[in-house]
Amino acid sequence: MNSIKKQLSRYLAISVSLLLISILLATDISVDTWISKEFDKSMVNKSHFLISLVDEDIEAVDFDFADEFMPEFSGKNDPEYFQLWHENKVFERSKTLDLFEVNTLPEVAVSLNESKINNIILPDGRSGRMITIKFMPQVDSDIREEFGISVAEFEKRQQPMTLAYALSNEDLEQTLWFVDIIFVLSSLIAVFAVRFIVYKVVESGLKPLEKLNSEIKTINLTSETGTISTEGLPEELLPIASSINHFLNENKILYAREKRVTSDIAHELKTPIAELISLSEIALKFPQDKQISETFTEDVLSISERLKRIVNSILLLQKSTKTGELKVNSMNIEELVHLILLRENKMNRDVEVVTSPDVSDIVTNEFAVDTILTNLISNALHYSPSNSKVSILICKSNDLTQTIVTITNTSVYQYSEHELSQFFEPLWQKDQSRTSSQRFGLGLAIVKSYCDSINVDIAITFTPDNFITFTLRF
């Protein structure tokens, strides 16, 4: 099972650790390079200083060196070495070379006025670095003027010299190793520190989510607590909490509705069942009573048909709530209205059907539209005075994009706004005593369910003069 906490901690720790290691690695390489360059730079400066001690006159080359001022070239304590060559012979070398069996430095071929740095093994056995420089000894201008020799003539007579200067690089290597160890330790510490910090930060950041989860667990459809508290929640969780609260409220409404519907269904079924039981008990108790026996069969049939209608209405409501896609076809709504009137208007009530000439066929599910219009027309005929007129208008909307059907009748009841809002609730009836044996309060619930299935808008309006209108927009 995937864990957001583990994955978030892992990814953050890895990414931040890689970033820190990259920075530390770049720093380590930069420091190592800088230290090595500074070491080589000090070698170059020292070798140039030694070269500056060499000068040449008409008679000979002189090396003006005093080792008492530079003890590193004469003592045994961390000795350094130099050697000069002139005319392919050793011209001068440091006293430190005489302390060991290997008393000479390797001569490396270089071009004039160029230098080369090599790693070598020093005479004392230590690892070291050596710089080799080939140069022309310097000549004092006063000397040339005294003998009347030009620079060009003097340079023709000069022989180049070679200087080799070497010293141990073990301290350098130790320093570089020390820097590398610091880098490794810093990297390890950074990785563990980042992982620990990230884990704690993520754990702290997910606490509101854990709190929200714990609060959700305490809520159910029967609990008194109806919503989740949003106090103290971070802004990222507020939309989730609001959505959950909306979901809980909707489900509580549905739960209460289902409880009411279940109770109403039980009540509707209880009455005819009780009637059947009563009739059966009376027939069994008084088998010789002709009045009972003559009407018994018809009464049982009537009650059974009522039970059948209730069950059929419940099944039709259940069928209308299914989410499967309904088949559609083109149909003439005016023709369908007239067919329904032939089927439902058995008392030949005054029904006026007005259709505007611009009405065209609609493409929808014919069974759903038939069920919707049948229930609405049947209700209009049933819940209006027998001498009143029912009006049906079929027209187009102003923008000609919708077909509008309005069914208007005079109501035998007065309805409040609250009662109008309950019209589409299953088994809701204005007559709370439920004296009707033909109406069970399921028709408009079926209408609303099918309207939702085929995307038809339905609205109710009630006027003070008791006219009620149902408006359908296809």
In a domain, 299, yes or no: yes
Q: Is 38 in the same domain as 69?
A: yes
Q: Is 340 in the same domain as 465?
A: yes
In a domain, 302, yes or no: yes
What's the CA gap between 165 and 93, in Å, rounded? 10
Looking at residues 161-178, what average pLDDT do you find?
A: 90
- Asked if pLDDT for residue 4 goes beyond 50, the answer is yes
Q: Which two tokens stand for residue 439?
A: 């109406």
Question: In this predicted structure, what is the pLDDT of residue 118?
Answer: 92
Core vs surface per residue 26-42: b (16+ CB within 10 A) or e: eebeebbeeeeeebbee
Q: Is 311 in the same domain as 353?
A: no
Residue 301 CB-half CA count within 13 A: 5
Looking at residues 403-414, what average pLDDT do you find?
A: 89
Q: Which domain CATH number covers 283?
A: 1.10.287.130
Q: Which domain does 457 fall in, by range?
A: 329-473
Q: Within 10 A of 108 (CB to CB), how many other CB atoms are there? A: 17
Task: Count the domains in the chain.
Answer: 3
Per DSSP, the residues of 243-296 read HHHHHHHHHHHHHHHHHHHHHHHHHHHHHHHHHHHHHHHHHHH-TT-HHHHHHH
Nearest to 444 by CA among 366, 363, 364, 380: 380
Q: How confident is the model at residue 147 (pLDDT cuts 50, 70, 90)?
A: low
In a domain, 223, yes or no: no
pTM of the entire predicted model? 0.49
In a domain, 194, yes or no: no
Rg (CA), the chain: 54
Q: Is 411 in the same domain as 381?
A: yes
Q: Which own/partner contact pairs does 293-299 have at CB distance under 8 Å and 24+ positions apart?
A: 299/275
**Last residue within a domain, chosen from 142, 161, 177:** 177
∠ CA 254-258-263, rounded to 5°: 150
CB-based contact 420:462 (threshold 8 Å): yes
Q: Is 307 in the same domain as 333?
A: no
Q: Is 339 in the same domain as 250?
A: no
Beta partners for residue 352, in sequence order: 391
Nearest to 361 by CA among 393, 336, 325, 392: 336
In a domain, 218, yes or no: no
Question: In this predicted structure, what is the pLDDT of residue 434?
Answer: 46
In a domain, 419, yes or no: yes
Question: In this predicted structure, what is the pLDDT of residue 114?
Answer: 92
**Last residue within a domain, chosen from 272, 294, 320:** 320
Q: Is 432 in the same domain as 390?
A: yes
Nearest to 430 by CA among 439, 387, 438, 306: 439
Q: Is 13 in the same domain as 74?
A: yes
User: Of 75-89, 133-147, 150-164, which has the strongest mean pLDDT?
Assistant: 75-89
- Asked if pLDDT for residue 435 goes beyond 60, the answer is no
Q: Is 268 in the same domain as 400?
A: no
- In this prediction, what percent of the chain has a pLDDT beyond 90? 15
Question: In this predicted structure, what is the pLDDT of residue 131?
Answer: 94
Provide the strand spans (E) within 342-402: 351-355, 362-364, 390-396
Q: Which two tokens stand for residue 380?
A: 């209009």
**Last residue within a domain, chosen from 128, 143, 177:** 177
Q: What is the pLDDT of residues 288-335, one digit of tens each?
A: 776 666 777 777 777 776 677 666 666 666 665 655 566 788 889 889
In a domain, 387, yes or no: yes
Q: Is 403 in the same domain as 344?
A: yes
Q: Is 362 in the same domain as 311?
A: no
- In this prediction, what percent of the chain has a pLDDT beyond 70? 82
Looking at residues 66-94, what average pLDDT do you find?
A: 87
Q: Is 156 in the same domain as 247?
A: no
Q: What is the pLDDT of residues 192-240, one digit of tens each?
A: 888 888 888 877 877 777 777 777 777 776 666 667 777 777 777 788 8
Q: Residue type for 452, please?
A: D
In a domain, 399, yes or no: yes
Q: Which domain CATH number covers 388?
A: 3.30.565.10
